[in-house]
Amino acid sequence: MRALRLAAVVLLTVFGLSACSTLSVTTDYDRAVDFSKLKTFRFEQRTEIRNQLVYDRIVRAITSELEAKGLSRADTDADVVVAVHGRVDRETQIRTDSFGYGWGRWGYWGGPYGYGGATTTVSQVPVGTLVVDLVDAKAKQLVWQGVATDTLKSRSSPEDKDTRIAEVMAKVFADFPPTGR
C-alpha cells in the first residue's frame, strides 16, 4: 500500500511539472536547401539581446546543439550565420479558484446547507520569445528558423538559467537538420 502511494505521488509530481510548462517551439526551413552540405557556422555580431550573461548562455547552448549535429564553429568564413533575436512581452493571465463546503441531512430537520464562492485574479506574466535564424552566408537568405516561446521566471539561479536555456535549445534543434525535402 505504501509503495502504491509513493508511485502515485511520483506520477503526480512528474505530470504536474510537465503540465506547468508553457514552452512552445516551432521551426521552419527552406525545402530547397541541402542541409547535409552545411558544415560550419558562426554567430552574427549584432544582437538585440542586451543582457550579455543571457546571450552567452544562448550562444553556448546553440553551439552545443549544432556541434552535436556535426557542424563546426568558425570565426570568419562559415556556411551559415546564426542570428539570435529575443523579446519579452506581457500576457494577461486570468485564474479562477472556486471553493465550497456543506453540511446537513435530508429528513425532519430540513435540507442540506452549504456555502461556496470563487475568486478570480488577473495578472500580467512575462512571456519571452527567442528566435534563432540560420542564414546562408553566401546567398544571405534565411534557410532555417526556430522559435521558442515560454513564460519567464525571474527568480532563477544562474545554474537553473543554464539548464533551462540548454533544454529549450535542445527542443528547438530537435529536428535539425530537417530531413524532408
3-state SS string for 124-178: EEEEEEEEEEEEECCCCEEEEEEEEEEECCCCCCHHHHHHHHHHHHHHHCCCCCC
**DSSP one-letter code for 70:** T
pLDDT at 4 over 90: no
Instruction: Say how far apart CA 109 and CA 13 lie, in whole Å.
Output: 44
Q: Are 66 and 84 in contact (CB under 8 A)?
A: no
- Over the chain, what is the mean pLDDT? 81
pLDDT above 90 as % of the chain: 50
Q: How far apart are CA 132 and CA 175, in angstroms?
A: 14
User: What is the C-alpha separation between 30 and 145, in angstroms, rounded?
Assistant: 9
The CATH class of the 23-90+128-172 domain is alpha beta
**16-20, 90-94, 141-145: range with highest mean pLDDT:** 141-145
Question: Whole-angstrom Cα distance, residue 181 to residue 178?
Answer: 8
Q: Which amino acid is at 71?
A: L
Lowest pLDDT segment from 7-16, 66-75, 84-93, 160-169:
7-16
Give me the pLDDT at residue 144, please. 97
pTM over the 0.75 mark: no
- Among 41-55, 98-112, 162-176, the range scoring the smallest mean pLDDT is 98-112
Radius of gyration of the chain (CA): 24
Query: Whole-angstrom Cα distance, residue 95 to residue 100?
Result: 17
Backbone angles phi, psi at 12, to 5 degrees: -65, -40
For the record, the C-alpha cell of 39 comes out as: 558544415
CA 104 from chain centre, in angstroms, equals 49
Rounded mean pLDDT, 50-61: 92
